[in-house]
């Protein structure tokens, strides 16, 4: 049940958003060795954001999954930053990432929990 949420002030056209979400789903699935069918991705583009005292392209990312290993987060951070720099043109020093290891019993799906 990985969840990859990106909020950015970058303008991304609708067709490009659809392409990005499909590609980001594959990226997360490969990164975590999970099936694409279990990955959820959301992109909120063109929102008002300010970071480091300016409005240059920036992003806030939430990366959540059941069993997210704390010791792997530095590597995930590197790969996510590289991915977002390539896909959206956002410099790594302008990206914050919030990692969350979710307790499956505290996460619902399909009328139950994991």
Give CA separation, 45 vs 21, 66, 90, 102, 111, in Å. 12, 26, 12, 25, 31
Per-residue pLDDT of the chain (114 residues; tens, 9 = 90+): 999 999 999 999 999 999 999 999 999 999 999 999 999 999 999 999 999 999 999 999 999 999 999 999 999 999 999 999 999 999 999 999 999 999 999 999 999 999
Identify the pLDDT of residue 60.
Answer: 98
Residue 86 in contact with residue 92, Cβ under 8 Å? no
Q: What's the CATH code of the domain at 99?
A: 3.30.429.10
- Range of 15's domain? 3-113
Identify the pLDDT of residue 83.
Answer: 98
Q: Which pair of structure tokens corresponds to residue 100? A: 């969350």
The tally of domains found in the chain comes to 1
Residue 57 to residue 55: CA distance in whole angstroms:
6
Task: Look at phi and psi of residue 88 and say left if phi exceeds 0, alpha if psi is from -120 to 50, else beta.
Answer: alpha
- In this prediction the pTM is 0.95
């Amino acid at each position: 049940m990985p969840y990859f949420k990106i909020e950015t002030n970058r303008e991304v056209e609708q067709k490009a958003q659809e392409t990005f979400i499909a590609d980001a789903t594959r990226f997360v699935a490969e990164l975590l060795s999970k099936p694409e069918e279990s990955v959820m991705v959301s992109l909120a583009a063109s929102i008002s954001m300010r970071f480091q005292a300016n409005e240059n392209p920036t992003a806030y990312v939430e990366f959540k999954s059941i069993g997210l290993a704390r010791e792997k987060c530095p590597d995930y951070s590197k790969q996510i930053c590289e991915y977002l720099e390539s896909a959206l043109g956002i410099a790594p020093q302008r990206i914050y990432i919030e990692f969350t290891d979710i307790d499956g019993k505290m996460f619902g799906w399909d009328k139950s929990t994991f």
